[in-house]
Chain A
Amino acid sequence: MRCILLVPITYNLRSLLVRKSATLLTVLGIGATVAIVSGVLALRQGFSTMFTSGGRDDLAVFLRPGATNEGDSQFSRDRGLKLIKTVPEIEVGPHGPLAAMEAYLAVLLAPKRGGLTNVPLRGVQPMTFEIRQGEIAIIEGRNFTPGTDELIVGSRLVDRIENCHLGDLITLNRTPFRVVGVFEHPGQFGGEIWGDLDRFLSTMGRYGPNRVIAKLKPGTELGSPDPAKVLFSDDPPEPTPGSLAARLLEDTEVPAKVYTEKQFLASQTVMLSYMLVGLSLALAVIMGLAAVFTATNTMLSAIAARTHEIGILLALGYRPLPIFLSFLFEALLLGVIGGLVGCLMALPFNGLKAGTMNFQTFTEMAFAFRVTSSVLLTAVVFSLILGLLGGAWPAFRAARMRPTVAMRRE
C-alpha cells in the first residue's frame, strides 16, 4: 500500500490566522449569506410547524363540495346537523356524537405594526372542546361561557394585535364581545379568536356554519385523495370508490367533501410554503454564487501569497494531491466557520413572532420564526458547499504548480 503524506492541518490553521483580516472578512461574508438563507428557512419552518402540528389523523373535516378552504365552505345549520346525525363513521361519546359545527369568519383588527388586518374568528360549540381535549390550553383567565358575548384569544395574537388582552372589548359588527381568556395552541388556532358559534353567526348575519369537524371511529378510512394534489392538479384525483369520501360527494341531501384534519391543514399553506421554498432556493443560489466568488477570490489570493511556500512543500516531497486536499480543506474550514457565524446571526430570530396574509384564506397568519436543528444543519451543509465550490479551483491551481517556478517567486 502506498502511503500518501498529508500536509499537516496546523499549516492551514496557522495560515488562516496569519491572514486575519482576509479570513475575518471572508467568514463574515459567507456568514451573512448563510444567515439570510437560514432566516428564510426558519420562516418556512415556522409556517409548516404551525400548520402541521395539531393536525390529527382521527379527525375529519367536512366542507362543501368545491370549497377550497374554510372561508369558502358553508353549510346551513340544518344540513350540518343532518350530516352529524347521518354519518355512521362518527364516534359517539357520552354526550352524543363527537362532532361540532364551526364558523370561520374574520374581523378587521389593528395590528401593533399599524394598519388593519383580517384576524381569523372561529365560532365553536361546547363539543369542540370535548373533541379537542388536551389540545387547547387556557393559559390566562378562563374559557368563554357558551351562549354569551365572550371571547378567548390565541396566545400569538396577544402582543401583536390591539385589544387582545384580558378584559378588552372587541366589537364584531355591532356587538361588543369581552376577552375573558387566552389560550395556547401550537398550530393555527393559536393565532385565532374563539367564541360561541351561535353568537358569532347572529352578530355577523350569517345563515350557517362553515364546516363540520368530527372524531372518527378507530380504523375509519376516509378514502379522500391528497387535497394538495386536488388543489394544484389539472386532473385532480378522485376519492377511493365506495369510501366515505366518495359516498358523501354523491350524497343528494348533504353533499360534502371530507378530509382528515392533517390533510386539510397541509393543503392550506401549500402556496405560501411553495413560495417560501422558492424564495429560499432562489436566494441560496443567487447569493451562494456571490459567496462562492468571494471565497474563490480569498483562496486565490491566499495561494498567490504563499506560492513560495507551496514550492517548498513540493520540494520537500509532498505530492500534488495532498496539496490540493490541504487547500480544499482550508476553503472548507473557511466555509464552515462562516456557516457557524451565520447560524449565530440567525439564532436571535428564533421565536420571533410575525404575521402575514395567507392568500389562500385571506386572513392574517400569526407564526414564529423557528431556527430548528434541521435549519441549522442545512445552513452548515450550505456553507460547506460554498467552501467546496470556492476552494476547488484555487486548490487545483496550487496543486499544479511546478516546484522550481513556485520557489523562484520571492
Chain B
Amino acid sequence: MPSFKLVWRNLLRRPLRALLTVASLAIAIFLICALRTMITTIAAGVENANPRRLDVMSSSGLFNELPLSYQAKIERVPGVEKTTKFQWFGGYFRSQKHFFAQFAIDPETMFDMYPECKVPPEQIEALRRTRAGCIIGRSLAKKFDWKIGDTIPLIGALHPRPDFKAWEFQVVGIYHSDVPSFDNRTLFFGWDYFEETLKAGGVPPGVGVYAIRATPDANIERVIADVEDQFKDSEQRIDCATEAEFQRQFQTMFGNIPLFLGWIGGGVLIAILVACINTMLMSMREQTADVGVLKSLGFTDGSVFGLFMAQAMFLCLVGGAIGLLVAWSTQRPIAALIEMMFPGYSITPQTFALAAVVSLVLGVLAGILPAVRARRLRCVEALRATD
C-alpha cells in the first residue's frame, strides 16, 4: 500500500486542480442526491400508505363528483368499519401564486381515520362547533403567519360562493404530520358549511373521494369487489382501490417527469465521470517521471498502481462527502422552493447510500486507466519523460 503522505503530496502538487476536481465532484453528487430525491418524493405516498385504508372515486376520474347518497351504501358493505368524505375545494388565497390544497371534510370521522394528521382534540371540537372554521397545516400557518382566530379569505375558483365573493374561513386549529405522504400545507374545513353555502346557490354538492377504513380482519380484495359491485348499475360508476394503489395512480400522472429526472442524473454522471478520468490522466501524465523514480527506487508495479488508485479514490471520496454534506444541509431551502411540485422533499437514507456508492465507483473508474498505465510503465522510459 502506498503511504498516505505520498498520495497527499502528489495531490498537492497541483492544489488548484485537486480543488476544482473535488468541487465538480461535490456538485455532481449533490445534483444526483437532489434529482433522486425528487423521484423518491413522488413515490413516498405509496410507501407510507395505510394498508387498511381504501379510496373510492368516480371511474371517470377525479374531475367527476360522486353523489352524497353513496356513503350510506358503502357503509353497508361487510368489512367496512368507517368512511369519510373529501371534496377538493380548489380555491386560492389572493392569487394563484400562493397555491395550497383545501378540502371540505367531515370533522366527525376524518381525524379519526387519519391519525397521522395530529391535532389537539379540543381543536377538532372547535371545528365541529365553528360553522366556518378550518384547521390548517403547520407549514401553511408558518408561511402566511396565520394563527388561531385569524380569518382566511379564499376565492372559490372551482366552487364559487353564490355571490362570487371570497369564502371566509376562521382558523380554529393547526395540525402537523410526520409522514411525508400527508403534507403540512393543507387547509381542512367543515363539510356542513360547504354544503349549506353551495345549496344556497342552487348547486348540489358532490363528493370527490370517499375513504374507507376496513375492519382489521377484513379481506381487502373482497371489500374492494363488494364496494364496486354496489354501484355497477348506478349513475356514476366508481373505482375502489387501496390507498397505495390510489397513490400509485396519482404518481403515474407525473408522466415522464421522473424518467426525465433520471436522464438528467445519468447525464450528470457521464459528464463528471469524463471529467474525473480527464483529471486523473492529466496528473498521471505529469507524474510520469516520478513513476520512473519510484520504480527505480524499488517500488513495485503493484504499489505504483495503488498510488494512482488511491489518489483517484481520495479525490472522489472527499468530493462525494462534500456533495452529500451540501445535499443534506440544503434540504430545507430546496424543500421550500419546490414544495408545490414535490411536497415533502427529504433525502432518504437509500439516496445517501447510493450517492456514496456512486462516488466510490467514480473513484475506481477514474483511477483505473491511469493506474494501469502507470503500472505498465517501464522505469527507463518513465525517467526519460519530460513533462
Distance, CA A71 to CA B157, complexed state (A):
10
A22 to chain B, nearest CB (A): 6
A58 to chain B, nearest CB (A): 27
A54 contacts B by Cβ under 8 Å: no
Q: Look across to chain B and name the residue whose beta carbon is closest to the beta carbon of A32.
A: B271
Q: Look across to chain A and name the residue whose beta carbon is closest to the beta carbon of B202.
A: A76
Residues of A within 8 A of B157 (CB): 66-69, 72
Distance, CA A362 to CA B274, complexed state (A):
40
Pick the contact of B255 from A234, A296, A355, A410 — CB < 8 Å? A355
Q: Is the CB of B264 within 8 A of A283?
A: yes
Q: Is the CB of B253 within 8 A of A32?
A: no
Pick the contact of A173 from B90, B236, B264 — CB < 8 Å? B236
Distance, CA A72 to CA B272, complexed state (A):
46
Q: Is the CB of A356 within 8 A of B340?
A: no
Pick the contact of B63 from A22, A118, A301 — CB < 8 Å? A118
Q: Is the CB of A410 within 8 A of B386?
A: yes
Q: Is the CB of B267 within 8 A of A35?
A: yes
Distance, CA A22 to CA B282, complexed state (A):
7
The stretch among B22-30, B109-117, B346-354 that forms the contact with chain A is B22-30
Q: Is the CB of A108 within 8 A of B61?
A: yes
Residues of A within 8 A of B90 (CB): 72
Q: Is the CB of A231 within 8 A of B31?
A: no
B275 contacts A by Cβ under 8 Å: yes
**Chain A: number of interface residues, binned into ranges:** 35 or more
B278 contacts A by Cβ under 8 Å: yes
Residues of B within 8 A of A204 (CB): 60, 64
A134 contacts B by Cβ under 8 Å: no
The verdict on A115 contacting B281 (CB below 8 Å), with A283-B264, A290-B28, A410-B386 known, is no
Q: Is the CB of B249 within 8 A of A116?
A: yes
Q: Look across to chain A and name the residue whose beta carbon is closest to the beta carbon of B159.
A: A72
Residues of B within 8 A of A66 (CB): 155-157, 160, 164
Q: Is the CB of A118 within 8 A of B271?
A: no
Residues of B within 8 A of A410 (CB): 386
Q: Is the CB of B59 within 8 A of A173?
A: yes
Distance, CA A298 to CA B279, complexed state (A):
8
Q: Is the CB of B24 within 8 A of A290?
A: yes
Which of B14, B27, B282, B341 has most A Cβ within 10 Å? B282
Within 8 A of B (CB), among A19-40: 21-22, 25-26, 28-29, 32-33, 35-36, 39-40
Distance, CA A159 to CA B229, complexed state (A):
33
Q: Is the CB of A36 within 8 A of B267?
A: yes
The verdict on A25 contacting B24 (CB below 8 Å), with A66-B156, A300-B16 known, is no
Pick the contact of B281 from A21, A64, A357 — CB < 8 Å? A21
**Which A residues lie at the B interface, using CB under 8 A?**
21-22, 25-26, 28-29, 32-33, 35-36, 39-40, 43, 64-69, 71-72, 105-108, 111, 113-118, 172-174, 204-205, 230-234, 236, 255, 271, 275, 283, 286-287, 289-291, 293-294, 296-298, 300-301, 304-305, 354-357, 359-360, 362, 364, 410
**Which B residues lie at the A interface, using CB under 8 A?**
14, 16-17, 20-21, 23-24, 27-28, 30-31, 58-64, 90, 92, 94-97, 99, 155-158, 160, 164, 235-237, 239, 248-249, 251-257, 260, 263-264, 267-268, 270-272, 274-275, 277-279, 281-283, 285-286, 340-341, 386-387
16 new A-B contacts at CB < 8 Å, known A29-B274, A300-B14: A25-B275, A28-B271, A28-B274, A29-B278, A35-B267, A36-B267, A39-B260, A39-B267, A67-B157, A118-B62, A231-B96, A296-B16, A297-B20, A301-B17, A356-B255, A364-B253
Query: Can you list 23 pairs linking A and B with CB atoms under 8 Å apart?
Result: A25-B275, A25-B278, A28-B271, A36-B264, A68-B157, A72-B90, A105-B63, A106-B63, A113-B255, A116-B253, A118-B62, A173-B59, A231-B96, A232-B96, A234-B95, A286-B30, A287-B271, A289-B23, A293-B24, A301-B14, A301-B282, A305-B387, A359-B99
